[in-house]
């Protein structure tokens, strides 16, 4: 270890203060949501700003957890996230690995993947495909159309390319076939990548909302984000569109309920992160090729 | 080399796919329309007269519409009741309002337009699709029905395309939202209900500076207002940004948003803004927050209507200010001596029938019977279990609703569990007949809210209302650019209120609007107004 100079120390202090400020700005909205959700409605109405509940009230939570719909949609989202992320990782990793091997038409396939990255078909053609494949009103409509993200696929391909050839060569000499190489050598070495992409995919599934509205007609199958939006977003009369809007067609629930809903819908996916985080830090090449 | 060819040919293939994908949306619609047209042309003369209310055959009837609250489940007791009563297999698809435009477009583009199609008020797709022949002309059928047959022609006129009726209006009461004021604050400061904008300005400033709630803190102000300068606080049609009332030098009607009345109103707001007598951050406040400013006892002037008011909000206000009393502000006399508010368009949505139904007249009758029943008006004395239709509509007493103090009260889960058939009708807003004597206060239980409603209703009934000539008039330029232009004007006028742009820039702003397409909108709209036979301003 070197002795750090004065300038370095100043730098470190400034750095820490900045990082602390950024952290506070990130945590602040959560704290606000948390406080409002545990406050009474009159407290929220009467104070401009709440950073800590004056008195703890759990009405908002009893209200939300008392409705079947919220809990049911939470399970739907958990299901879609777990199954969907598994499907994502299986398809992305197998395809990415295939693309690192010398297969016929490899470059063409990569080109097509890149193409979809740049040009998407648009909502209506995608809707038609989902409809014609009979996926409408099925949870698979939220999983299959987004099974492989081209962006993640390309990054994963690059990641696999970074794994030294010698490892696979050694395995081939030991008589391993492709599947064995993939499952016994490549995947274990790719834990950090899988964890990272798993997290991306999972958060994506968790937060996806529009496909739920678009492909599912049955409110019982809606993911949590759709329900959340129904709870939080007020249907605004648009003054620019004119017309005498009714006061409020359907009243939004009070702010405390909205905040409690946001918290309940966000918490589960936040909890996943620490469990995956330990995989990110590990070195990729740990215990393979000694250089 | 070979590889290169392959890639190029694949690329070409892909490009062609892309093109197909891009044009798909259009062709999808066109194809269905072609089918519809042929279906329409081969309208076979019915070999026998069909009795409209014959239920011997079972029909599958599909539909889609928007809903502001949560859609009901896909299978439920309420839906079974409808299927049994009308001998149908009814499949309504009810979509959250925020996503309705996108989802319904996708459904139609994918070639599966349902039998019944709902639209929000002012959705221009209704007119475009009707023009393309996607819908069924209804003129020959409406007279069979108790409710649909009684809707006045002048309302149907807004839904005519090429002289035929294609749309069924969703009722909206004709009274707009108009300004209301805290009577208790006025009394405390010894002020009267205002009769012109000067007085209103003084009051708003007094509400800001003279502690009308008497709590010793400077925590009140005058006018609660939010983004898009909404509510607009016009004290009559003369100041209404939405009404076509003012005329230019050629005698053509012009939209209120560029009129001198609006200019005076913007000046009025600019004065209030300087004094801090209106919501400071109005430009970024959504509707719920704007309501909150008023119902939390901060602001003393807002808007109210004879129906659709929220008892919860009102109760919230009373919990903070138990003495709160709200009264309507009667319309002011305008510089041109006119006095009165603008009448609403009479619809809050549209329902159309798929042109494909023309193949089977029996199905048309059945579909319309469903629509008609959903819109049935029950006068107060018939809203009880003794009326079989009403009892059915709300899903039977004890299941879908209960009688409390002589009023039907729906159970909280009537929609979420689909207990009541009413929630499945695409248009389930009762169509109030012209001559119905309604007491709007009846629909509330809170005495203070009842009183306010009474003041509003008396005010509307004792004043004339202006009939906006632009209702139901289509201007292609307006369909294309109207919303953006309106937004542009509202943004610039918001700047004027906040003092970022001088109000003296008004004429320049109007010129800008005219150059950007306003000219064409005015020209086209006036042609439409003349075609309707509307020449002199009409008050009712």
pLDDT digits (tens, 9 = 90+) for A148-163: 999 999 889 888 888 8
Q: What is the pLDDT of residue B141?
A: 95
Residues B459-479, mean pLDDT to the nearest whole number: 87
CB B207 within 8 A of CB B277: yes
Cβ of B109 within 8 Å of Cβ of A124? The answer is: yes
B507, B539 contact by CB (below 8 A): no
pLDDT bucket at A243, cuts 50 / 70 / 90 = very low
CB contact under 8 A, A234 and B287: yes
Average pLDDT for B56-78: 91
Please choose, from the candidates B440, B467, B428, B473, the residue with its C-alpha nearest in 3D space to the C-alpha of residue B168: B428
Mean of pLDDT over chain A: 83
Cα angle B147-B149-B154, degrees, rounded to a multiple of 5: 105
pLDDT given at position A15: 94
| Residue B212 · residue B206 · CB < 8 Å | yes
Residue A104's pLDDT is 87
Task: Measure in Å the smallest separation between the Cα of B3 and chain A Cα atoms.
Answer: 9
Interface check for A286 against chain B (CB to CB < 8 A): the answer is: no
Taking one residue from A and the other from B, the number of pairs with CB-CB distance under 8 angstroms is 147
To test the contact with chain A by mutation, choose from B28, B119, B240, B287 the residue with the greatest count of A C-beta atoms within 10 A, namely B287
Q: Enter the DSSP assignment of B392.
A: H
B318 or A273: which carries more pLDDT confidence? B318
Cβ–Cβ gap A46/B320 under 8 Å: yes
> Sorting pLDDT into bands at 50, 70 and 90, what band is B42?
very low
Question: Per-residue pLDDT for B34 more than 70?
Answer: no
Which helix (H) or strand (E) segment holds residue B92: the answer is strand B88-96
Residue pair A231/A257 in contact (Cβ under 8 Å)? The answer is: yes
**Which residue of A242, A249, A251, A255 to mutate against B (max B Cβ within 10 Å)?**
A242
Quick check: B432 pLDDT over 70?
yes
Residue A239 scores a pLDDT above 80: no
CA distances from B301 to B153, B324, B378, B428 (A): 37, 12, 34, 33
Interface touch A131/B291, C-beta < 8 Å: no
**Range in A251-265, B177-191, B291-305, B400-414 the model is least confident about:** A251-265
Instruction: Report the DSSP beta bridge partners of residue B117.
Output: B64, B352
Q: How far is it, in rounded angstroms, from Cα B102 to Cα A126? A: 13
- CB contact under 8 Å between A124 and B228, yes or no, is no
Is the Cβ pair A248, B416 closer than 8 Å? no
Pairwise CA distance, residues B275 & B208, whole Å: 8
Cis peptide before B231 (omega within 30 of 0): yes
pLDDT of residue A66: 76
- B9 pLDDT band, cuts 50/70/90, is low
The rounded Cα B239 to chain-centroid distance in angstroms is 20
pLDDT digits (tens, 9 = 90+) for A185-213: 888 888 888 888 898 899 999 999 899 99
How far does the CA of residue B111 sit from the closest CA of chain A (Å)?
9
**Per residue in A34-88, pLDDT tens?**
988 888 777 776 666 778 888 888 888 887 887 788 889 999 999 999 999 999 9
pLDDT at A244 over 50: no
Q: Which residue of B has its CA nearest to A241?
A: B483
Name every chain A residue with its beta carbon within 8 A of the beta carbon of B99.
210, 213-214
C-alpha neighbours within 13 Å on the C-beta side of residue A130: 26
> Across the strands, what pairs with B93?
B64
How far does chain B reach from its first CA to its final CA, in angstroms?
A: 81
pLDDT for position B31: 40
Which tokens belong to A207?
A: 């937060």
Interchain proximity B21–A108, CB inside 8 Å:
no
Percentage of chain B exceeding pLDDT 90: 58
Give the number of other Cβ atoms within 10 Å of residue B423's Cβ: 27
pLDDT on residue B6: 53
Of B10, B73, B95, the CB nearest to A108: B10
Interface list for A 93-112 with B (CB within 8 A): 107-108, 111-112
B68 pLDDT exceeds 70? yes
User: Taking CB atoms and an 8 Å cutoff, what residues of chain A touch B488?
Assistant: none
Q: What is the model's pLDDT at position A246?
A: 42
Query: Which residues in chain A touch residue B109, judged by CB atoms under 8 angstroms apart?
Result: 124, 127-128
- pLDDT of residue A235 exceeding 70, the answer is no
Q: What is the DSSP string of A134-175?
A: T-TTSGGGGTGGGS--HHHHHHHHHHHHTS-HHHHHHHHHTT
**Nearest neighbour of B21 by CB, restricted to A122, A214, A218:** A122
Encoding tokens for residue B387? 């009326």
Q: Is the pLDDT of residue B309 over 90?
A: no
The distance of A57 to chain B (nearest Cα, Å) reads 17
Q: Is the pLDDT of residue B103 over 80?
A: yes
pLDDT of residue B443: 77
Residue B39 binned pLDDT confidence (cut-offs 50, 70, 90): very low
C-alpha to C-alpha distance for A168 and B238, rounded to whole angstroms: 82
Mean pLDDT of B277-281: 93
**What is the C-alpha to C-alpha distance for residues B323 and B135, in angstroms, rounded to an integer?**
54
Res A248: pLDDT: 44
With beta carbons less than 8 A apart as the criterion, state whether B180 and B327 touch.
yes
**How many whole angstroms separate alpha carbon B246 and alpha carbon B526?**
12
The tens digit of pLDDT for each residue in B216-272 reads 888 899 999 998 898 889 999 999 999 999 999 999 999 999 999 999 999 999 999
Helices (H) and strands (E) in chain B, counts: 17, 18
Q: How many residues does chain B have?
A: 540
Residues of A in Cβ contact (< 8 Å) with B286: 234, 236
Long-range contacts of A135-138 (CB under 8 A, 24+ apart): A135/A215, A136/A215, A136/A216, A136/A217, A137/A215, A137/A216, A137/A217, A137/A218, A137/A221, A138/A215
Is B45 or B453 the better-scoring residue by pLDDT? B453
């Amino acid at each position: 270890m070197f002795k750090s100079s004065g300038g370095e120390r100043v730098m470190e202090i400034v750095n820490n203060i900045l990082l602390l400020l950024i952290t506070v700005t990130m945590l602040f909205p959560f704290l606000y949501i948390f406080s409002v959700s545990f406050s009474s409605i009159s407290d929220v109405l009467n104070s401009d700003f709440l950073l800590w509940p004056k008195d703890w009230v759990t009405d908002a939570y009893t209200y939300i957890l008392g409705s079947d719909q919220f809990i049911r949609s939470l399970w739907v989202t958990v299901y879609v996230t777990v199954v969907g992320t598994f499907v994502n990782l299986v398809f992305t990793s197998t395809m990415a690995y295939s693309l690192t091997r010398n297969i016929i038409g490899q470059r063409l396939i990569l080109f097509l993947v890149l193409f979809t990255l740049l040009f998407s078909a648009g909502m209506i053609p995608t809707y038609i495909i989902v409809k014609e494949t009979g996926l409408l009103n099925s949870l698979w409509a939220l999983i299959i159309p987004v099974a492989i993200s081209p962006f993640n696929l390309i990054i994963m391909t690059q990641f696999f390319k970074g794994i030294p050839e010698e490892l696979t060569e050694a395995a081939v000499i030991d008589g391993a076939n492709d599947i064995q190489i993939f499952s016994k050598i490549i995947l274990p070495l790719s834990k950090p990548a899988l964890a990272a992409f798993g997290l991306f995919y999972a958060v994506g599934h968790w937060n996806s909302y529009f496909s739920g509205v678009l492909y599912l007609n049955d409110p019982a199958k809606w993911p949590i984000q759709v329900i959340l939006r129904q709870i939080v977003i007020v249907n605004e009369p648009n003054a620019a569109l004119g017309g005498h809007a009714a006061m409020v067609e359907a009243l939004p629930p009070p702010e405390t309920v909205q905040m409690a809903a946001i918290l309940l819908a966000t918490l589960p996916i936040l909890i996943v992160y620490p469990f995956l985080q330990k995989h990110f830090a590990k070195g990729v090449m740990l215990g393979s090729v000694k250089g | 080399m070979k590889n290169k060819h392959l890639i190029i040919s694949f690329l070409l293939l892909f490009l062609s796919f892309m093109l197909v994908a891009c044009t798909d949306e259009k062709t999808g619609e066109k194809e269905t329309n072609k089918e519809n047209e042929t279906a329409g042309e081969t309208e076979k003369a019915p070999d026998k007269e069909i009795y409209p209310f014959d239920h011997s055959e079972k029909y599958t009837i599909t539909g889609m519409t928007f809903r502001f609250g949560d859609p009901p489940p896909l299978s439920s007791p309420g839906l079974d009741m409808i299927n049994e009563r009308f001998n149908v297999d009814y499949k309504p698809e009810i979509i959250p309002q925020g996503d309705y435009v996108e989802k319904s477009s996708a459904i139609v583009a994918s070639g599966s337009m349902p039998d019944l199609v709902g639209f929000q008020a002012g959705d221009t797709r209704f007119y475009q699709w009707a023009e393309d022949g996607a819908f069924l002309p209804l003129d020959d059928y409406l007279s069979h029905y108790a409710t649909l047959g009684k809707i006045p022609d002048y309302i149907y006129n807004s839904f005519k395309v090429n002289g035929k009726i294609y749309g069924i209006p969703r009722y909206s009461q004709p009274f707009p939202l108009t300004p209301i004021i805290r009577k208790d604050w006025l009394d405390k400061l010894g002020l009267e209900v205002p009769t012109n904008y000067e007085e209103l300005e003084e009051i708003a400033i007094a509400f800001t500076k003279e502690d009308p709630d008497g709590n010793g803190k400077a925590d009140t102000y005058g006018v609660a207002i939010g983004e898009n300068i909404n509510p607009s606080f016009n004290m009559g049609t003369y100041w209404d940004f939405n009404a076509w009332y003012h005329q230019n030098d050629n005698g053509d009607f012009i939209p209120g948003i560029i009129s001198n009345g609006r200019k005076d109103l913007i000046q009025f707001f600019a004065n209030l803004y300087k004094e801090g007598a209106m919501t400071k951050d109005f430009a970024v406040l959504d509707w719920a927050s704007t309501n909150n400013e008023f119902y939390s006892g901060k602001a003393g002037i807002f808007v109210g209507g004879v129906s659709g008011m929220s008892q919860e909000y009102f109760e919230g206000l009373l919990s903070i200010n138990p003495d709160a009393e709200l009264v309507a502000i009667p319309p002011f006399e305008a510089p041109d001596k006119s006095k009165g508010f603008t009448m609403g368009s009479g619809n809050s949505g549209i329902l159309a029938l798929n042109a494909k139904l023309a193949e089977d007249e029996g199905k048309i009758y059945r579909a319309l019977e469903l629509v008609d029943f959903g819109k049935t008006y029950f006068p107060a004395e018939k809203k009880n279990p003794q009326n079989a239709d009403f009892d059915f509509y709300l899903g039977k007493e004890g299941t879908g609703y209960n009688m409390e103090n002589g009023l039907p009260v729906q159970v909280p889960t009537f929609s979420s569990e689909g207990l009541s058939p009413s929630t499945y009708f695409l248009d389930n807003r009762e169509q109030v007949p012209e001559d119905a004597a309604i007491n709007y206060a009846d629909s509330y239980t809170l005495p203070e809210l009842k009183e306010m409603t009474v003041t509003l209703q008396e005010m509307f009934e004792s004043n004339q209302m202006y009939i906006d000539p632009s209702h139901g008039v289509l201007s292609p330029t307006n369909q294309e650019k109207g919303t953006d232009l309106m937004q542009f004007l509202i943004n610039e006028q918001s700047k004027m209120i906040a003092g970022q742009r001088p109000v003296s820039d008004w004429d320049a702003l109007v010129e800008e609007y005219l150059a950007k397409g306003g000219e064409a909108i005015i020209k086209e709209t006036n042609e439409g107004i003349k075609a309707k036979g509307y020449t002199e301003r009409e008050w009712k």
